[in-house]
Structure 1
Amino acid sequence: MTITACGGANPAAETSNKPVDVGVAVPSAWTAQGQIRVGIACDYPPFGYTDLTGGNAGYDAEVARTLAAYAFGNDSKVSFTCVTPQNRIPYLSTNKIDLIISTLGYTQERAKTIDYSTAYFTSGAKLLVANGSNLDGWQSLHGKTIITKTGTTSSTFLTNCYADSQQLRLDSTSDAVAALKAGRGVAFAEDSTLLLGLALNDKSLKVVGQDEAQTPWGLGIRQGDTETKKWVDAALADMQMKDTFWTIFNKAVQNKEAAATFAGNMPRPGASIAYTDENTLADCSK
Protein backbone atom coordinates (compact mmCIF):
# COMPACT_ATOMS: atom_id res chain seq x y z
CA MET A 1 0.00 0.00 0.00
CA THR A 2 1.29 3.45 -0.77
CA ILE A 3 0.83 7.04 0.25
CA THR A 4 1.13 9.71 -2.39
CA ALA A 5 3.57 12.56 -1.89
CA CYS A 6 0.91 15.10 -2.74
CA GLY A 7 1.90 18.64 -2.06
CA GLY A 8 5.60 19.28 -1.95
CA ALA A 9 7.06 22.69 -2.58
CA ASN A 10 7.23 22.28 -6.34
CA PRO A 11 5.85 25.40 -8.08
CA ALA A 12 4.92 23.31 -11.11
CA ALA A 13 2.38 21.51 -8.94
CA GLU A 14 0.54 24.72 -8.01
CA THR A 15 -2.98 25.20 -9.25
CA SER A 16 -3.93 28.74 -10.19
CA ASN A 17 -7.44 29.73 -11.21
CA LYS A 18 -10.23 32.06 -10.21
CA PRO A 19 -11.35 32.13 -6.56
CA VAL A 20 -14.57 30.26 -5.83
CA ASP A 21 -17.54 32.41 -4.81
CA VAL A 22 -19.16 30.68 -1.84
CA GLY A 23 -21.52 33.56 -1.12
CA VAL A 24 -19.46 34.86 1.81
CA ALA A 25 -16.55 37.31 1.74
CA VAL A 26 -13.05 35.90 2.26
CA PRO A 27 -11.85 36.84 5.77
CA SER A 28 -10.28 40.28 5.65
CA ALA A 29 -7.20 39.18 7.64
CA TRP A 30 -6.46 36.54 5.00
CA THR A 31 -6.85 39.05 2.20
CA ALA A 32 -4.48 41.45 3.95
CA GLN A 33 -1.76 38.82 4.45
CA GLY A 34 -2.33 37.18 1.06
CA GLN A 35 -2.44 33.64 2.42
CA ILE A 36 -3.93 31.27 4.99
CA ARG A 37 -1.70 30.26 7.90
CA VAL A 38 -2.47 26.67 8.84
CA GLY A 39 -1.35 24.54 11.75
CA ILE A 40 -0.94 20.95 10.59
CA ALA A 41 0.39 17.63 11.87
CA CYS A 42 3.70 16.71 10.27
CA ASP A 43 4.02 13.14 11.53
CA TYR A 44 0.59 11.58 11.02
CA PRO A 45 0.37 9.96 7.57
CA PRO A 46 -1.76 9.87 5.53
CA PHE A 47 -3.40 12.99 7.05
CA GLY A 48 -0.50 15.34 7.70
CA TYR A 49 3.15 14.52 7.15
CA THR A 50 6.36 15.74 5.53
CA ASP A 51 7.07 14.05 2.21
CA LEU A 52 10.42 13.15 0.66
CA THR A 53 10.78 16.63 -0.86
CA GLY A 54 10.28 18.32 2.51
CA GLY A 55 6.79 19.52 1.58
CA ASN A 56 3.59 19.13 3.55
CA ALA A 57 1.45 16.28 2.28
CA GLY A 58 -1.64 14.28 3.13
CA TYR A 59 -5.39 14.70 3.43
CA ASP A 60 -5.27 17.69 5.79
CA ALA A 61 -2.63 19.43 3.68
CA GLU A 62 -4.78 19.07 0.57
CA VAL A 63 -7.87 20.35 2.38
CA ALA A 64 -5.81 23.43 3.30
CA ARG A 65 -4.61 23.91 -0.29
CA THR A 66 -8.16 23.56 -1.56
CA LEU A 67 -9.29 26.32 0.80
CA ALA A 68 -6.45 28.51 -0.50
CA ALA A 69 -7.60 27.85 -4.06
CA TYR A 70 -11.15 28.80 -3.07
CA ALA A 71 -10.03 32.01 -1.35
CA PHE A 72 -7.28 33.20 -3.73
CA GLY A 73 -7.58 31.13 -6.89
CA ASN A 74 -4.14 29.69 -6.10
CA ASP A 75 -3.56 26.63 -3.94
CA SER A 76 -0.04 27.77 -2.98
CA LYS A 77 -1.41 30.69 -0.95
CA VAL A 78 -1.10 28.73 2.28
CA SER A 79 1.73 28.54 4.81
CA PHE A 80 2.06 25.52 7.07
CA THR A 81 3.26 25.36 10.66
CA CYS A 82 3.86 21.94 12.22
CA VAL A 83 1.80 21.62 15.38
CA THR A 84 1.27 19.00 18.07
CA PRO A 85 -1.84 18.12 20.08
CA GLN A 86 -0.33 20.11 22.95
CA ASN A 87 0.48 23.38 21.14
CA ARG A 88 -2.06 23.63 18.32
CA ILE A 89 -4.77 25.43 20.31
CA PRO A 90 -2.30 27.85 21.97
CA TYR A 91 -0.87 28.64 18.50
CA LEU A 92 -4.38 29.43 17.27
CA SER A 93 -5.32 31.49 20.32
CA THR A 94 -2.15 33.60 20.11
CA ASN A 95 -2.64 34.31 16.37
CA LYS A 96 0.38 32.33 15.17
CA ILE A 97 -1.94 30.48 12.79
CA ASP A 98 -5.38 31.15 11.30
CA LEU A 99 -6.74 27.60 11.27
CA ILE A 100 -6.02 24.24 12.82
CA ILE A 101 -6.33 21.48 10.21
CA SER A 102 -4.76 18.71 12.23
CA THR A 103 -7.01 15.74 13.07
CA LEU A 104 -8.76 17.96 15.63
CA GLY A 105 -11.50 15.89 17.25
CA TYR A 106 -14.54 17.64 18.69
CA THR A 107 -14.88 17.72 22.47
CA GLN A 108 -17.05 19.82 24.74
CA GLU A 109 -13.96 21.02 26.60
CA ARG A 110 -12.20 22.23 23.44
CA ALA A 111 -15.39 23.94 22.27
CA LYS A 112 -15.18 26.16 25.36
CA THR A 113 -11.95 27.76 24.09
CA ILE A 114 -12.13 27.58 20.27
CA ASP A 115 -14.78 27.49 17.56
CA TYR A 116 -15.14 24.55 15.21
CA SER A 117 -16.00 24.52 11.54
CA THR A 118 -18.54 22.02 10.36
CA ALA A 119 -17.07 18.51 10.47
CA TYR A 120 -14.80 17.48 7.60
CA PHE A 121 -13.87 13.94 8.74
CA THR A 122 -14.77 11.51 11.48
CA SER A 123 -12.54 9.04 13.23
CA GLY A 124 -13.32 6.17 15.53
CA ALA A 125 -11.97 2.83 16.58
CA LYS A 126 -11.46 0.12 13.98
CA LEU A 127 -9.61 -3.19 13.96
CA LEU A 128 -6.19 -4.06 12.58
CA VAL A 129 -5.85 -7.71 11.60
CA ALA A 130 -3.51 -9.93 9.63
CA ASN A 131 -4.22 -10.00 5.91
CA GLY A 132 -5.27 -13.66 6.06
CA SER A 133 -7.72 -13.14 8.92
CA ASN A 134 -11.41 -14.01 8.44
CA LEU A 135 -12.44 -11.52 11.13
CA ASP A 136 -14.55 -8.87 9.42
CA GLY A 137 -15.87 -6.62 12.18
CA TRP A 138 -16.67 -5.96 15.80
CA GLN A 139 -19.38 -8.59 16.11
CA SER A 140 -16.72 -11.25 15.55
CA LEU A 141 -14.90 -10.26 18.74
CA HIS A 142 -17.14 -11.88 21.35
CA GLY A 143 -15.18 -14.33 23.47
CA LYS A 144 -11.85 -13.56 21.80
CA THR A 145 -8.63 -11.87 22.89
CA ILE A 146 -8.25 -8.32 21.59
CA ILE A 147 -5.06 -6.27 21.75
CA THR A 148 -5.46 -2.70 23.01
CA LYS A 149 -3.28 0.09 24.35
CA THR A 150 -3.56 0.95 28.01
CA GLY A 151 -5.85 3.89 28.77
CA THR A 152 -7.24 4.35 25.25
CA THR A 153 -10.81 5.03 24.21
CA SER A 154 -10.77 1.75 22.29
CA SER A 155 -10.01 -0.15 25.49
CA THR A 156 -12.83 1.64 27.32
CA PHE A 157 -15.27 0.92 24.50
CA LEU A 158 -14.41 -2.79 24.57
CA THR A 159 -14.85 -2.87 28.35
CA ASN A 160 -18.27 -1.28 28.01
CA CYS A 161 -19.59 -3.16 25.00
CA TYR A 162 -17.60 -6.41 24.66
CA ALA A 163 -17.18 -7.47 28.26
CA ASP A 164 -17.07 -11.14 27.24
CA SER A 165 -13.85 -10.57 25.27
CA GLN A 166 -10.39 -10.50 26.87
CA GLN A 167 -8.07 -7.55 26.44
CA LEU A 168 -4.32 -7.78 26.13
CA ARG A 169 -3.39 -4.24 27.17
CA LEU A 170 0.03 -3.00 26.08
CA ASP A 171 1.77 0.35 26.44
CA SER A 172 2.94 1.12 22.90
CA THR A 173 1.77 0.81 19.32
CA SER A 174 4.90 -1.13 18.34
CA ASP A 175 4.29 -3.67 21.12
CA ALA A 176 0.66 -4.03 20.04
CA VAL A 177 1.57 -4.67 16.40
CA ALA A 178 4.23 -7.18 17.44
CA ALA A 179 1.69 -8.99 19.60
CA LEU A 180 -0.80 -9.10 16.72
CA LYS A 181 1.80 -10.58 14.38
CA ALA A 182 2.71 -13.14 17.03
CA GLY A 183 -0.91 -14.27 17.22
CA ARG A 184 -1.45 -13.15 20.82
CA GLY A 185 -4.79 -11.64 19.84
CA VAL A 186 -7.14 -11.74 16.86
CA ALA A 187 -7.11 -7.95 16.34
CA PHE A 188 -5.62 -4.68 17.52
CA ALA A 189 -8.36 -2.16 18.34
CA GLU A 190 -7.31 1.48 18.00
CA ASP A 191 -8.07 4.82 16.37
CA SER A 192 -8.89 4.16 12.73
CA THR A 193 -6.57 6.84 11.40
CA LEU A 194 -3.58 5.37 13.24
CA LEU A 195 -4.46 1.91 11.96
CA LEU A 196 -4.73 3.18 8.40
CA GLY A 197 -1.18 4.53 8.61
CA LEU A 198 0.07 1.21 9.96
CA ALA A 199 -1.65 -0.79 7.22
CA LEU A 200 -0.38 1.54 4.51
CA ASN A 201 3.17 0.81 5.63
CA ASP A 202 2.83 -2.94 6.24
CA LYS A 203 1.32 -5.10 3.51
CA SER A 204 0.78 -8.00 5.92
CA LEU A 205 -1.93 -6.03 7.77
CA LYS A 206 -5.37 -4.64 6.94
CA VAL A 207 -8.06 -2.54 8.62
CA VAL A 208 -11.57 -3.97 9.09
CA GLY A 209 -14.80 -3.06 10.82
CA GLN A 210 -17.00 0.00 11.02
CA ASP A 211 -15.99 2.98 13.14
CA GLU A 212 -17.07 2.74 16.77
CA ALA A 213 -16.77 5.42 19.45
CA GLN A 214 -16.66 8.02 16.69
CA THR A 215 -15.24 11.51 17.10
CA PRO A 216 -15.84 14.01 14.26
CA TRP A 217 -12.99 16.32 13.29
CA GLY A 218 -13.35 20.02 12.61
CA LEU A 219 -11.14 22.90 11.57
CA GLY A 220 -10.14 24.92 14.62
CA ILE A 221 -11.07 28.62 14.43
CA ARG A 222 -10.31 31.34 16.98
CA GLN A 223 -13.24 31.74 19.31
CA GLY A 224 -15.56 34.53 18.21
CA ASP A 225 -14.06 34.86 14.72
CA THR A 226 -17.42 34.70 12.99
CA GLU A 227 -16.05 36.10 9.72
CA THR A 228 -13.69 33.16 9.31
CA LYS A 229 -16.20 30.57 10.49
CA LYS A 230 -18.88 31.71 8.03
CA TRP A 231 -16.49 31.56 5.07
CA VAL A 232 -14.90 28.26 6.06
CA ASP A 233 -18.28 26.59 6.63
CA ALA A 234 -19.52 27.85 3.25
CA ALA A 235 -16.39 26.57 1.49
CA LEU A 236 -16.63 23.17 3.21
CA ALA A 237 -20.28 22.91 2.19
CA ASP A 238 -19.32 23.53 -1.44
CA MET A 239 -16.56 20.92 -1.18
CA GLN A 240 -19.05 18.42 0.22
CA MET A 241 -21.52 19.08 -2.59
CA LYS A 242 -18.75 18.46 -5.17
CA ASP A 243 -17.49 15.34 -3.32
CA THR A 244 -14.10 17.02 -3.00
CA PHE A 245 -13.22 15.38 0.32
CA TRP A 246 -13.50 11.93 -1.23
CA THR A 247 -11.38 13.03 -4.19
CA ILE A 248 -8.71 14.37 -1.84
CA PHE A 249 -8.76 11.22 0.26
CA ASN A 250 -8.19 9.03 -2.78
CA LYS A 251 -5.17 11.14 -3.71
CA ALA A 252 -3.74 10.73 -0.22
CA VAL A 253 -4.50 7.00 -0.06
CA GLN A 254 -3.81 5.35 -3.39
CA ASN A 255 -4.72 1.82 -2.34
CA LYS A 256 -8.35 1.43 -3.38
CA GLU A 257 -9.18 -1.27 -0.84
CA ALA A 258 -7.79 0.79 2.04
CA ALA A 259 -9.53 3.95 0.84
CA ALA A 260 -12.88 2.18 0.46
CA THR A 261 -12.81 1.26 4.15
CA PHE A 262 -13.05 4.99 4.94
CA ALA A 263 -15.65 5.98 2.32
CA GLY A 264 -18.13 6.96 5.04
CA ASN A 265 -15.69 8.93 7.17
CA MET A 266 -16.03 12.27 5.39
CA PRO A 267 -18.87 14.54 4.27
CA ARG A 268 -20.18 13.51 0.88
CA PRO A 269 -23.13 14.66 -1.23
CA GLY A 270 -26.24 14.06 0.86
CA ALA A 271 -24.24 12.66 3.81
CA SER A 272 -23.08 15.15 6.44
CA ILE A 273 -21.21 14.45 9.67
CA ALA A 274 -22.65 15.93 12.85
CA TYR A 275 -21.02 16.66 16.18
CA THR A 276 -22.48 15.02 19.26
CA ASP A 277 -22.05 15.40 23.00
CA GLU A 278 -23.23 11.83 23.60
CA ASN A 279 -20.91 9.32 25.27
CA THR A 280 -20.00 7.26 22.22
CA LEU A 281 -17.74 5.02 24.34
CA ALA A 282 -20.85 3.55 25.94
CA ASP A 283 -22.93 3.26 22.78
CA CYS A 284 -23.23 -0.49 22.26
CA SER A 285 -26.21 -0.32 19.90
CA LYS A 286 -24.40 -1.22 16.66
Structure 2
Amino acid sequence: MKTVLKTFAAALLFGVAAMGVAKADQVKIGVAAEPYPPFTSPDATGKWVGWEIDFIDAVCAEEKLDCVITPVAWDGIIPALTTKKIDLIVSSMSITDERKKTIDFSDKYYNTLPAIIGPKGQKFGATPDDLKGKVLGVQVSTTHAVYAKKHFTGAQEIKEYQTQDEANQDLAAGRIDAVEADSIALVEYLKSDQGKACCDLKGMVAPDDEVLGPGIGAGVRKEDTALKETVNAGIKAIRASGKYNEITKKYFDFDIYGG
Protein backbone atom coordinates (compact mmCIF):
# COMPACT_ATOMS: atom_id res chain seq x y z
CA MET A 1 0.00 0.00 0.00
CA LYS A 2 2.86 2.38 0.91
CA THR A 3 4.48 1.61 -2.45
CA VAL A 4 1.23 2.38 -4.24
CA LEU A 5 0.82 5.64 -2.31
CA LYS A 6 4.42 6.64 -3.01
CA THR A 7 3.94 5.88 -6.69
CA PHE A 8 0.71 7.88 -6.75
CA ALA A 9 2.32 10.81 -4.91
CA ALA A 10 5.29 10.78 -7.28
CA ALA A 11 2.98 10.73 -10.29
CA LEU A 12 0.93 13.59 -8.83
CA LEU A 13 4.03 15.66 -8.17
CA PHE A 14 5.31 14.97 -11.68
CA GLY A 15 1.95 16.03 -13.13
CA VAL A 16 1.89 19.25 -11.13
CA ALA A 17 5.48 19.98 -12.14
CA ALA A 18 4.66 19.32 -15.79
CA MET A 19 1.70 21.71 -15.61
CA GLY A 20 3.94 24.30 -13.99
CA VAL A 21 6.44 24.07 -16.81
CA ALA A 22 3.64 24.39 -19.38
CA LYS A 23 2.33 27.53 -17.71
CA ALA A 24 5.81 29.02 -17.27
CA ASP A 25 7.04 28.34 -20.80
CA GLN A 26 7.11 31.35 -23.09
CA VAL A 27 4.40 31.26 -25.75
CA LYS A 28 5.38 33.06 -28.95
CA ILE A 29 2.30 34.74 -30.41
CA GLY A 30 2.68 35.11 -34.18
CA VAL A 31 1.15 38.21 -35.78
CA ALA A 32 1.52 39.37 -39.38
CA ALA A 33 4.45 41.80 -39.55
CA GLU A 34 2.41 44.64 -41.02
CA PRO A 35 -0.09 47.20 -39.75
CA TYR A 36 -3.60 45.74 -39.70
CA PRO A 37 -5.60 48.23 -37.64
CA PRO A 38 -7.64 48.04 -35.54
CA PHE A 39 -6.53 44.46 -34.86
CA THR A 40 -2.72 44.57 -34.80
CA SER A 41 -0.23 47.31 -35.56
CA PRO A 42 3.00 48.71 -34.10
CA ASP A 43 2.79 52.08 -32.35
CA ALA A 44 5.43 54.83 -32.55
CA THR A 45 7.64 52.96 -30.09
CA GLY A 46 7.37 49.67 -31.96
CA LYS A 47 5.04 48.11 -29.41
CA TRP A 48 2.23 46.05 -30.95
CA VAL A 49 -1.23 47.33 -30.11
CA GLY A 50 -4.84 46.76 -31.19
CA TRP A 51 -7.93 44.73 -30.44
CA GLU A 52 -6.29 41.37 -31.10
CA ILE A 53 -3.29 42.27 -28.95
CA ASP A 54 -5.57 43.25 -26.05
CA PHE A 55 -7.60 40.08 -26.63
CA ILE A 56 -4.66 37.67 -26.51
CA ASP A 57 -3.09 39.57 -23.59
CA ALA A 58 -6.33 38.97 -21.67
CA VAL A 59 -6.35 35.27 -22.57
CA CYS A 60 -2.71 34.87 -21.54
CA ALA A 61 -3.30 36.73 -18.26
CA GLU A 62 -6.36 34.58 -17.52
CA GLU A 63 -4.44 31.35 -18.12
CA LYS A 64 -1.17 32.62 -16.60
CA LEU A 65 0.78 32.15 -19.83
CA ASP A 66 4.01 34.05 -20.53
CA CYS A 67 3.17 35.38 -23.99
CA VAL A 68 5.38 37.43 -26.30
CA ILE A 69 4.27 39.04 -29.56
CA THR A 70 6.38 37.77 -32.47
CA PRO A 71 5.89 39.46 -35.88
CA VAL A 72 6.15 37.15 -38.91
CA ALA A 73 5.59 37.72 -42.64
CA TRP A 74 1.96 36.78 -43.37
CA ASP A 75 2.73 34.39 -46.24
CA GLY A 76 5.17 32.51 -43.98
CA ILE A 77 3.14 32.51 -40.79
CA ILE A 78 1.84 28.92 -41.04
CA PRO A 79 5.33 27.52 -41.84
CA ALA A 80 6.64 29.55 -38.87
CA LEU A 81 4.08 27.77 -36.68
CA THR A 82 4.76 24.26 -37.96
CA THR A 83 8.55 24.72 -37.63
CA LYS A 84 8.09 26.00 -34.05
CA LYS A 85 9.37 29.54 -34.63
CA ILE A 86 6.07 30.63 -33.10
CA ASP A 87 3.56 28.75 -30.96
CA LEU A 88 0.24 30.42 -31.77
CA ILE A 89 -1.11 32.48 -34.67
CA VAL A 90 -3.27 35.39 -33.53
CA SER A 91 -3.58 37.39 -36.71
CA SER A 92 -7.19 37.46 -37.93
CA MET A 93 -6.81 34.04 -39.54
CA SER A 94 -10.05 32.43 -40.72
CA ILE A 95 -10.73 28.86 -39.66
CA THR A 96 -10.95 26.88 -42.92
CA ASP A 97 -10.88 23.21 -43.85
CA GLU A 98 -7.93 23.84 -46.15
CA ARG A 99 -5.81 25.30 -43.34
CA LYS A 100 -6.95 22.55 -40.97
CA LYS A 101 -5.14 20.05 -43.19
CA THR A 102 -1.91 21.58 -41.83
CA ILE A 103 -2.74 23.19 -38.47
CA ASP A 104 -5.50 23.24 -35.87
CA PHE A 105 -7.46 26.16 -34.46
CA SER A 106 -8.86 27.38 -31.19
CA ASP A 107 -12.52 28.21 -30.88
CA LYS A 108 -13.70 31.24 -32.86
CA TYR A 109 -12.95 34.57 -31.23
CA TYR A 110 -14.57 36.88 -33.78
CA ASN A 111 -16.42 36.69 -37.09
CA THR A 112 -17.09 39.39 -39.68
CA LEU A 113 -17.80 39.35 -43.42
CA PRO A 114 -15.44 40.66 -46.12
CA ALA A 115 -16.31 43.84 -47.99
CA ILE A 116 -15.44 45.64 -51.21
CA ILE A 117 -14.17 49.22 -51.36
CA GLY A 118 -13.49 51.33 -54.43
CA PRO A 119 -12.98 54.89 -55.68
CA LYS A 120 -15.38 57.60 -54.64
CA GLY A 121 -17.64 58.73 -57.46
CA GLN A 122 -17.83 55.26 -59.03
CA LYS A 123 -21.09 53.47 -58.34
CA PHE A 124 -20.82 49.69 -58.14
CA GLY A 125 -21.54 47.03 -55.55
CA ALA A 126 -19.99 43.81 -54.28
CA THR A 127 -21.55 41.21 -56.61
CA PRO A 128 -19.80 39.25 -59.38
CA ASP A 129 -21.57 41.41 -61.97
CA ASP A 130 -20.36 44.57 -60.22
CA LEU A 131 -16.73 43.41 -60.33
CA LYS A 132 -16.87 42.20 -63.94
CA GLY A 133 -14.02 43.69 -65.98
CA LYS A 134 -12.41 45.31 -62.93
CA VAL A 135 -8.97 44.79 -61.39
CA LEU A 136 -9.54 43.57 -57.83
CA GLY A 137 -6.81 43.68 -55.18
CA VAL A 138 -6.52 41.08 -52.41
CA GLN A 139 -3.84 40.01 -49.95
CA VAL A 140 -2.01 36.81 -50.87
CA SER A 141 -2.70 33.61 -48.90
CA THR A 142 -5.98 34.90 -47.45
CA THR A 143 -9.56 33.68 -47.62
CA HIS A 144 -10.27 36.91 -49.53
CA ALA A 145 -7.95 35.77 -52.33
CA VAL A 146 -9.66 32.36 -52.42
CA TYR A 147 -13.12 33.96 -52.36
CA ALA A 148 -12.27 36.41 -55.16
CA LYS A 149 -10.90 33.65 -57.40
CA LYS A 150 -14.02 31.56 -56.82
CA HIS A 151 -16.72 34.22 -57.12
CA PHE A 152 -15.28 37.08 -59.17
CA THR A 153 -14.28 35.09 -62.24
CA GLY A 154 -15.45 37.90 -64.50
CA ALA A 155 -12.89 40.33 -63.08
CA GLN A 156 -10.22 41.50 -65.49
CA GLU A 157 -7.58 40.50 -62.92
CA ILE A 158 -7.36 39.32 -59.32
CA LYS A 159 -4.17 41.06 -58.22
CA GLU A 160 -2.48 39.64 -55.13
CA TYR A 161 -0.37 41.69 -52.73
CA GLN A 162 2.02 40.68 -49.95
CA THR A 163 0.29 43.05 -47.53
CA GLN A 164 -3.15 44.64 -47.26
CA ASP A 165 -1.52 48.04 -47.03
CA GLU A 166 0.02 47.59 -50.50
CA ALA A 167 -3.40 46.77 -51.96
CA ASN A 168 -4.92 49.83 -50.32
CA GLN A 169 -2.07 52.03 -51.60
CA ASP A 170 -2.59 50.83 -55.18
CA LEU A 171 -6.33 51.51 -54.91
CA ALA A 172 -5.67 55.04 -53.65
CA ALA A 173 -3.23 55.59 -56.52
CA GLY A 174 -5.77 54.41 -59.10
CA ARG A 175 -3.76 51.37 -60.18
CA ILE A 176 -6.58 48.97 -59.34
CA ASP A 177 -10.37 49.34 -59.29
CA ALA A 178 -11.38 47.74 -56.00
CA VAL A 179 -10.13 45.88 -52.92
CA GLU A 180 -11.63 42.97 -51.01
CA ALA A 181 -10.70 42.40 -47.34
CA ASP A 182 -12.24 42.09 -43.90
CA SER A 183 -14.99 44.67 -43.50
CA ILE A 184 -13.70 46.00 -40.17
CA ALA A 185 -10.17 46.49 -41.50
CA LEU A 186 -11.49 48.27 -44.59
CA VAL A 187 -13.81 50.53 -42.61
CA GLU A 188 -10.81 51.44 -40.45
CA TYR A 189 -8.83 52.27 -43.59
CA LEU A 190 -11.69 54.48 -44.82
CA LYS A 191 -11.34 56.51 -41.62
CA SER A 192 -7.70 57.32 -42.44
CA ASP A 193 -6.79 60.51 -44.31
CA GLN A 194 -5.92 58.55 -47.43
CA GLY A 195 -8.99 56.35 -47.23
CA LYS A 196 -11.38 59.27 -46.71
CA ALA A 197 -9.88 61.07 -49.70
CA CYS A 198 -9.96 58.25 -52.20
CA CYS A 199 -12.52 55.61 -51.50
CA ASP A 200 -15.78 54.41 -50.05
CA LEU A 201 -17.52 51.18 -49.12
CA LYS A 202 -19.21 49.45 -52.06
CA GLY A 203 -20.82 46.60 -50.15
CA MET A 204 -20.44 43.34 -48.24
CA VAL A 205 -19.75 40.15 -50.16
CA ALA A 206 -22.19 37.24 -50.08
CA PRO A 207 -21.47 34.63 -47.37
CA ASP A 208 -19.60 31.45 -48.35
CA ASP A 209 -19.02 29.18 -45.35
CA GLU A 210 -16.85 26.78 -47.35
CA VAL A 211 -14.32 29.51 -48.21
CA LEU A 212 -14.69 31.95 -45.32
CA GLY A 213 -15.20 29.38 -42.56
CA PRO A 214 -17.01 29.87 -39.23
CA GLY A 215 -14.87 32.77 -38.04
CA ILE A 216 -11.43 33.76 -36.83
CA GLY A 217 -9.45 31.44 -34.56
CA ALA A 218 -5.97 31.14 -33.09
CA GLY A 219 -3.80 28.80 -35.16
CA VAL A 220 -2.02 26.07 -33.21
CA ARG A 221 0.07 23.02 -34.12
CA LYS A 222 -2.01 19.85 -34.38
CA GLU A 223 0.00 18.13 -31.67
CA ASP A 224 -0.31 21.03 -29.19
CA THR A 225 -3.67 19.93 -27.80
CA ALA A 226 -2.90 21.22 -24.31
CA LEU A 227 -2.18 24.72 -25.61
CA LYS A 228 -5.35 24.64 -27.71
CA GLU A 229 -7.43 23.65 -24.67
CA THR A 230 -5.77 26.36 -22.57
CA VAL A 231 -6.53 29.05 -25.17
CA ASN A 232 -10.13 27.82 -25.50
CA ALA A 233 -10.51 27.98 -21.72
CA GLY A 234 -9.14 31.52 -21.76
CA ILE A 235 -11.51 32.64 -24.50
CA LYS A 236 -14.46 31.15 -22.64
CA ALA A 237 -13.39 32.75 -19.36
CA ILE A 238 -12.91 36.30 -20.70
CA ARG A 239 -16.24 36.15 -22.51
CA ALA A 240 -17.98 34.96 -19.34
CA SER A 241 -16.30 37.59 -17.13
CA GLY A 242 -17.15 40.47 -19.45
CA LYS A 243 -13.49 41.21 -20.21
CA TYR A 244 -14.02 40.39 -23.90
CA ASN A 245 -16.81 42.96 -24.18
CA GLU A 246 -14.79 45.49 -22.20
CA ILE A 247 -11.92 45.19 -24.70
CA THR A 248 -14.27 45.25 -27.69
CA LYS A 249 -15.99 48.47 -26.59
CA LYS A 250 -12.62 50.26 -26.75
CA TYR A 251 -12.52 49.67 -30.50
CA PHE A 252 -16.04 49.00 -31.81
CA ASP A 253 -19.61 50.10 -31.22
CA PHE A 254 -20.99 46.69 -32.21
CA ASP A 255 -20.49 43.02 -31.35
CA ILE A 256 -17.74 41.53 -33.52
CA TYR A 257 -18.08 38.02 -32.06
CA GLY A 258 -20.83 37.15 -34.53
CA GLY A 259 -23.57 34.57 -34.38
Structure-1-length-normalised TM-score? 0.61
Q: Distance in 2 between matches of 1:144 and 1:88?
A: 32
Residue 38 in structure 1 maps to residue 26 in structure 2: no
> Residues 91 and 154 from structure 1, CA distance in 2 versus in 1: closer, same or farther, beyond 3 angstroms?
closer
Q: Match for 2:225: what amino acid?
A: T
Counterpart contact for 2:248–2:255, Cα < 8 Å: no
Alignment of 1:110-129 (within 5 A): 110-129=99-118
Match of 1:44, SS? coil
What does the per-residue CA deviation read over 1:192-242, in whole Å, with 9 as the maximum and x for residues that have no partner? 255245324222334353353434221011212222222211221233345
Which residue in 1 is equivalent to 2:196? 203
> Residues 189 and 86 from structure 1, CA distance in 2 versus in 1: closer, same or farther, beyond 3 angstroms?
closer
Alignment of 1:197-236 (within 5 A): 197-201=188-192, 202-204=195-197, 205-207=199-201, 209-212=203-206, 213=208, 214-215=212-213, 216-236=215-235
Counterpart contact for 2:52–2:91, Cα < 8 Å: yes
What does the per-residue CA deviation read over 1:98-156, in whole Å, with 9 as the maximum and x for residues that have no partner? 21112222232321232210112335430214567776x64696598655138934533
Q: Distance in 2 between matches of 1:29 and 1:200?
A: 45
Which residue in 2 is equivalent to 1:17? none
Which residue in 1 is equivalent to 2:7? none
Q: Match for 1:209: what amino acid?
A: G
Q: Match for 2:136: what amino acid?
A: T
Q: Distance in 1 between matches of 2:188 and 2:102?
A: 30
Alignment of 1:102-251 (within 5 A): 102-129=91-118, 138=126, 142=130, 146-149=134-137, 152-159=145-152, 167-169=155-157, 171=159, 173=167, 174-179=169-174, 188-192=178-182, 195-201=186-192, 202-204=195-197, 205-207=199-201, 209-212=203-206, 213=208, 214-215=212-213, 216-242=215-241, 244-251=243-250
Which residue in 2 is equivalent to 1:57? 49
Q: Distance in 1 between matches of 2:242 and 2:133?
A: 39
Match of 2:84, SS? coil
> Residues 146 and 78 from structure 1, CA distance in 2 versus in 1: closer, same or farther, beyond 3 angstroms?
same
Counterpart contact for 2:40–2:91, Cα < 8 Å: yes
Match of 1:198, SS? helix
Q: Distance in 2 between matches of 1:240 and 1:207?
A: 31
Q: Match for 1:106: what amino acid?
A: I
| Corresponding residue pairs, total | 220
Which residue in 2 is equivalent to 1:13? none
Counterpart contact for 1:123–1:265, Cα < 8 Å: yes
Following superposition, the deviation at residue 92 of structure 1 comes to 2.5
Match of 2:78, SS? helix
Counterpart contact for 1:146–1:189, Cα < 8 Å: no
Counterpart contact for 2:127–2:205, Cα < 8 Å: no
Question: Mind listing any 5+ residue stretches in structure 2 that lack a counterpart?
Answer: 1-17, 162-166
Greater helix share, 1 or 2?
2
Residue 48 in structure 1 maps to residue 36 in structure 2: no
> Residues 243 and 131 from structure 1, CA distance in 2 versus in 1: closer, same or farther, beyond 3 angstroms?
farther
Match of 1:40, SS? strand
> Residues 232 and 179 from structure 1, CA distance in 2 versus in 1: closer, same or farther, beyond 3 angstroms?
same
Larger Rg: 2
Question: Mind listing any 5+ residue stretches in structure 1 that lack a counterpart?
Answer: 1-25, 254-258, 272-286
Which residue in 2 is equivalent to 1:90? 79
